[in-house]
Structure formats: structure tokens, C-alpha cells
Structure 1
Amino acid sequence: MRPGLIWGLDFTASGSLAVEACDAPQPGGLRWLHLNLADHGTRSWIENAALPMDVRELLLSADTHQRALVDGETVGCVLHDFERDFDVADTARIGALRIALTPTLIVTTRSHPIRSADIVRQRLERIPMLAGPAAALDLLVGAITENVSGISRTLSDDVRIAEDALLDGHHPPTTRDLIGIRRRVAQLHRLLGGMREVFHRLEEDEELPEALLATVEKLVQRLQSLDGDIVAVQGQLRLLREELDIQAAQRTNQNLYILSIMTALMLPATLVTGIFGMNTGGMPLASSMGTAGATVLALGAAVATYLLLRWLGFMRR
């Protein structure tokens, strides 16, 4: 059963050559195979590939948790990236990219289309030679961070536009409008945080091949810097949400204040109308002008209440 080869390249002294079959003779010193893990032939090929058992299990495992392991000169990783659809380059779905790095063979697998694989393929077409597994790892993580960085810039622009709308007072955003941005920023933070931990553990692994150490150290710094940008967007979003909450609380307090003042002004008038509404004898102002007199008395009571509240300092200017 033939494996599900999406694309493959052999890197030779004269340039890169397309791989027609995974088991074809290798003309150069380095081969890169990108395989579809949903294909049963891929799983069968990996089970019999010349890779350490732990790495083969990592490539075939159903666990999508980000992690890495070192077995001799072979390094295996599971990294997260955003999946893509045929008509959408970036989606909100996170998929797993599984990687095996040896001195002569690079194997990457995925179950669903991954955005970083497209970026890597385009970059490989523009470079004549790939130096080795360290360069491949740098290229892969660079593709993931480029995608994440683009999403981060878009989210930062969305937050800035929302801040401008809030300051201008024209169609200010609501907390509901910011939920989507908050969810995507948190998703990016978790993705980068997990990836940074993976490479940090690799950096501290004494069995890590010397050829990969410098690249892993550089990737840790790059991921930390990018995660710092995501945290900054989170901070901006948090301040914006707090400002929106403060304004909503101020509007509520203002409405309650107006309602309280109206209640206080109408309370004496209500008392007057209640007294004159009692069916008892000897009611004052029981004449033809009694209704007008009672109305004047009610309004006078409201005015007196207003002046008293203002004198006591309850009326805001």
C-alpha cells in the first residue's frame, strides 16, 4: 500500500528534486517527505520506516499534545498550527503537525491541511538547497510563527480600531464585540506557550544533537518575543474591556440617579394626591377651585423637595 505523499523533495548539490515515491532511491544527502496521516498507507509506511520506535509511535499517536523527544540523532516533535480549508487560508481550528528529524531524512505528517506546510513548500521552491535538519526545523517553526504573527497583527488592529471608536464616541464596541478577539488571542497565547515549553525542554535536554542546539535556542527566543506581543494585545484588550465596563457602570449609575431624583420629587406630590383622594368628611379645599388648589399644593411640595435636595448637595450640576 502506497503512503499518502503530499509532497517530497530531495536536496542535492545541483538543487532540489521532487520525490515521486517515498521508497525511491535517495540521490542527495537529505530528503523531506510531507505525508497525509489520514491515509492508511502512510501509517503502514511509518510503522516500517527506518526511525526509532519512540519516534514512530509519536508520529502515529492520536495524542495531539505538544511535546518532543530525542532518541539518538533523531528528534521527534508535535507542534500546533492552524488548519486551513480549501477556500480559507486560516481557520480557528488548531491541528497537530508531527515532525521527525534525522541527519538524512525529514518526515512531517498531519491529519488535516496545515497552513505552515503550504508556507514551507513555497519557501523550499525558492531556495536551491537545505542545509540540514536544523535549517528544516527553523523553516517549519518560522512558517508557524509567520502565520501566528499575521493573525496577531490583525487582532491588534481590531483592538486599536475598537479603542478609536470608544474614544471618538461613534458606535463604540460592546463587550460582546470583543469576545471573538479575546477567544482568538487566548488561543494564540496557548499555542505559543506550549510550543515555547517544548523547545525549552529540548534546549535543556543533554541528548539533543549539537547541530540542533543553536537553532533550538534561537527558536525559544523567537517564540518568547512573539508571545510577548500576544500578551501585549491581551493587555490592550483587558484595558479596553475595563473601560467599557466602567462606562456601562457609569451609565447605570446615572440612570439610577435620575430615577432616584424623580422618585424623590414625586413623593410629596403623591402624598398630597393620596390625602385628597381619601373618602372622608371635612376635606379641605372642597370647593369649585379645590382641584386647582390641590394641584398647586402638589407642585409646591415637589419644588420644595427639589430646593431641599439641592441645598443638601444631592443635586449634581
Structure 2
Amino acid sequence: MSETFIIDARYLDPDHEAKAPEEVQGEIDEPIWLHVNVAGEGAADRLAKAAPYLDSAMIEALCASDTRPHVEDFGKEYLIILRGMNLSPGAEPDDMVSLRIWSDGKHVISAERRPVMAVRKLSERLKVADKPVTASEVVISLAVEVIANMAGPIGKLLDDIDELEIEALEGTPGDLRARLNSLREHVLYIRRYLVPMKQAVMQLQGLGQDWAVAEKAIRRLRHAGDNLARHIEDLDAAREQLQFQHEEMVAATSDKLNRNMYTLSIVAAIFLPLGFLTGLLGINVGGMPGADDGTAFWWVAGGCGAIVLCQLLYFRRGGWF
């Protein structure tokens, strides 16, 4: 197969030497963090061979095409589904990638279908630190990295919303409504995954205490949970801000339409008596006054002008314009 199955592998036991992912072959029973790509064909079979301690339900969950953030406690095993920002170039902010994690306290199997930058960052940091970590510390660190990577894209999204509001207030030309709808869609999609993520992180905090994880790691996870809650609050505020901007745009469009209709009403009111007069004089019957008078046209034109002038004075005194 063309896709790389094992993306990264790190032994969690200091007695085992680190190996490159391509050197990890066959069944792996030692304490290890294994990160795999489950997007390719036959990924489930390869995962079953590499980790025989996984049952079919866990393999199916790790290879699922659609997931929502949650934590499942199976007693001695844990399944953790997270959603992180897609930091690939050109990716939309709401195009969130899924990270699936399974652990039994000894092994950690994490899986992706699209690149998850949080995994790469954690792997590089562990290589630099060059010290053993426990399975629970890997799980918590992955959750912390996923949340940490949200700050940049969400901050840019909020900046775009502020910029749109400034352009709307300044009357900058352009299709602001299409941009507003796009930003609203981004906010709703991101919030859709962050709310269950908050609950999942709270469950992870409880699991961390059960795992007897170091207090420092628990504090990092708690701090990450606070940041996640703040992101959700920012998105809630952004949603209200976008709703207010939408109402302002609708009101501005309504005001413009009303002004146009008002102008047309004045024009129609001015030409209504003129239309009646010219229609009356245009009937083809005998006895029409001035039919044989060469100056009659100018008298009619002058009378129409006088009518228009009187109407304008009346509208002006009435405060129509």
C-alpha cells in the first residue's frame, strides 16, 4: 500500500531503545506509543496485527470515518476521541481533524485519518527531552497539545469578525453578507466540536487522578481545559456579534429600500396630476379647447410647470424632504 501506516512509534519503557517507525514490524507487546494512519485501505487489519490486545470494537472506533469528541471508560481500557484544528496550509478554520486515542495504561495507540499537528509537536518535544514517559502522560500531553493549537486559528477567526464589523461601519464596498455568512458557518462548526471537547477534557481530568498522574500534568490539563472553556465563550460572543452584524445589515438594506421607495412615491405623486392632465387633453373628441390656438401648447406646459412648483412647495412645507 502507498500510505504510511505507522507514522511514529516511541517505547514508553526506558529499557527499550527507540526505533524509527519503519523499523517497528509485526506484533508489539512492549509498552509503546504507536501513532498510525488509518485512512488507507486495510488499516484495520494492519492495526489488528500490530496491536493484538485491541478488540474489534476498539479497532472499529479507531478507524471510524466520522467521530465526535468523547471519552469512554471500559474499566482497564480508555477510548478518547478529540478534535483539533487543521493546521495544513489553505485549510479552513472549521475543517477540524480527528485524533483517536486508546490506552490500557501500558500502551497508547493514537490514530488519524488526516495529519494532526499536535502529534508531531509532542513527538518532537519528547525526542528533545529524551526521557521516558508513561502512557497516561502521553494521553494528557496529546490533549493539551490539541487544545493549545486552537488559539491561533480561533484568534484569527475573531480578528476577521472584528475586521468585517469595521468594514460594515465604514461602508466599505464588497459582498459583506457573503463573508458574514461564511464566518457564521465557521463559528458554528467549530463550536459544535468544542462543546463536547470540554466535557471530554473534564472526564480526562478525572481519569488522570485515577491514573495517579503527576500533579504537574494534571495542572497542565486543567489549564488547557480553562483555555478551551474560554475559546467556547469567545465563540459564543462571536456568534452574538455576527448575529448583531447580520441584523444591522438587514436594517441598513431595509432603510435603503425605504428611502428608494420614498423617493419613488414623491416622484409618482408629482407626476400623477400631470398624467391626469395630459391624458385628459389627449382624448380624441370634438370641442377640445385650444386645438386651433398656436400658443395653447405653451399655456399647457406652463400650467404643468406651475402645478409641479406648487407640489414641491407643499411637500417642502410638509417636511417630505
TM, length-normalised to structure 2: 0.81
Following superposition, the deviation at residue 15 of structure 1 comes to 11
Find the partner of 1:237 among 228, 238, 242. Answer: 242
Give the superposition deviation at 1:261: 0.8
How many matched pairs? 310
Aligned match of 1:291? 297
Residue 317 of structure 2 is aligned to residue 304 of structure 1:
no
Q: Percent identity?
A: 22
1:78-93 residue pairs with structure 2 within 5 A? 78-83=81-86, 88=90, 92-93=94-95
C-alpha distance in structure 2 between counterparts of 1:295 and 1:174, whole Å:
48
Distance 2:127 2:90 in 1: 22
Cα separation, partners in 2 of 1:218 and 1:177, compared to 1, 3 Å: closer
Residues 101 and 177 of structure 1, relative CA distance in 2, 3 Å threshold: same
Measured in 1, the distance between the counterparts of 2:207 and 2:196 equals 17
Q: In 2 relative to 1, CA 231–212 (structure 1 residues): closer, same or farther, beyond 3 Å?
A: farther
Structure 1, gaps ≥5 residues long = none
Give CA deviations for 1:183-229 in whole Å, capped at 9, x if unaligned.
Answer: 21111111211212333455678996454994665554332122112
Give the whole-Å Cα distance in 2 for the aligned partners of 1:259 and 1:231: 42
Q: Measured at CA, do residues 25 and 107 of structure 1 come closer, stay the same or move farther in structure 2, by a change above 3 Å?
A: closer
Distance in 2, Cα, partners of 1:31 & 1:205: 19
Once residues 303 and 15 of structure 1 are traced to their aligned partners in structure 2, the CA distance between those partners, rounded to angstroms, is 100
CA shift in 2, pair 1:220/1:281, >3 Å:
same
The aligned residue for residue 115 of structure 2 is 113
Partner of residue 229 from structure 2, selected from 224, 231, 254: 224
> Which AA in structure 2 matches 1:58?
A
User: Aligned to 1:77, what secondary structure does the other structure show?
Assistant: strand
- The Cα of 1:93 is off from its aligned counterpart by 3.4
Check 1:219–1:72 CA distance in 2 against 1; reply closer, same or farther (3 A cut).
farther
Task: Quickly say closer, same or farther: Cα 1:229–1:205, change in 2 above 3 A.
Answer: same
Q: Which moved more, 1:286-295 or 1:215-224?
A: 215-224
The reply on whether 1:273 has 2:278 as its aligned counterpart is: yes
What is the DSSP-based 3-state SS (H/G/I as helix, E as strand, rest coil) of the residue aligned with 2:149? helix
1:73 aligns with 2:76: yes
Cα deviation code 1:61-91 (max 9, x no counterpart): 4552333211233221122234566x65667
1:140 to 139, 142, 155: 142
Q: In the alignment, is the contact (CA less than 8 A) between 1:11 and 1:129 conserved in 2?
A: no
Partner of 2:182, secondary structure, is helix
Change (3 A) 1:40 1:168: closer
Which amino acid in the other structure matches residue 104 of structure 2?
T
The corresponding residue for 2:173 is: 171
Between 91-100 and 184-193, report the one with greater CA deviation: 91-100
Give, in angstroms, the shift of residue 312 of structure 1.
Answer: 3.6
Structure 2 regions of 5+ residues with no counterpart? none
- Contact 2:136–2:211 at 8 Å: present in 1 too? no
CA RMSD of aligned residues (A): 3.4
Pair 1:98–1:290, CA change in 2 (3 A)? same
Deviations 1:97-118 (A, max 9, x none): 2101232221101223233333
SS in 1 for 2:150: helix
Tell me how far apart the structure 2 counterparts of residues 190 and 254 of structure 1 sit (CA, whole Å).
40
Deviations 1:262-283 (A, max 9, x none): 1111111111111111112222
Q: Tell me, what secondary structure is at the counterpart of 1:17?
A: coil
Is the 8 Å Cα contact of residues 59 and 98 (structure 1) preserved in structure 2? Answer: yes
Q: Which residue of 2 aligns with 1:31?
A: 32
Distance in 2 between residues matched to 1:196 and 1:18, nearest whole Å: 35
**Paired residue secondary structure (2:286):** coil
CA contact (8 A) 2:43 2:63 kept: no
The counterpart of 1:124, out of the listed 86, 110, 126, is 126
